[in-house]
Amino acid sequence: MVYFAVKDGVFHRNPELPGKRNVEGSRAIWEHIMQRPLKYLEPRYQTPFLMKPDNFKWRPVKDTDGVYEKPMGVFTERNTASGFIKLGSDITYDLGTDGRNIYFVLKGVGTAANDPYRWGTTFYLDPEKIIALTAIDETELIHFRLPDLDDLKAREIVPE
């Protein structure tokens, strides 16, 4: 039996099967795998907001020389966060903290665990994973800490 067809990114369910006929493709796949409708969480903010990173001040990272951070905020009870990190020239710094982190190089060149990095290089670090960055030129990175889902059961991670 054919369950569905996809045309122009829209899922078209077989008319003989129950459920909504036309659904966005990724939602249809999610619902098929999870065997339940996808329900979105209520919005956390009334409107989108824009931040102006240039209006935030750099502050020195404790117990380091030549490393600065610019925290932008923590969003949600799951400690989702964003900010910036700056390394001076010829500085080595261990990136990584508890949790899952993404770092994107905005400026500078150097090495990460002896491999070169430059603008656009991206690092994903699992919890407890550390990588040593050595800045050849002053380096700036944007940092995103992903939500902490450790205490959730697998079924709770996805919205009901």
Query: H helices of the chain, where?
Result: 25-34, 154-157
In whole angstroms, give the CA distance from residue 10 to residue 28: 9
The side-by-side arrangement of strands in the sheet containing 101-107 is 59-60, 67-75, 80-87, 139-145, 101-107, 122-125
Lowest mean pLDDT among 2-16, 57-71, 110-124, 136-150: 2-16
Q: What is the mean pLDDT of the chain?
A: 87
- The residue with greater pLDDT, 98 or 125, is 125
Domain 53-145 fold is Jelly Rolls (2.60.120)
Instruction: Give the contacts of 158 (CB within 8 A, at least 6 positions apart).
Output: 30, 34, 38
Domain ranges within the chain, ordered by starting residue:
4-34, 53-145
- Count how many Cα atoms sit within 13 Å of the Cα of residue 47 in the half-sphere of its side chain: 3
Q: Is the pLDDT of residue 59 over 90?
A: yes
First to last CA, the chain: 28
State pTM to two decimals. Answer: 0.75
Lowest mean pLDDT among 71-75, 91-95, 96-100, 106-110: 96-100
Amino acid identity for residue 94 in this structure: D
Angle at 29 (CA atoms; ends 127, 125), nearest 5 degrees: 15
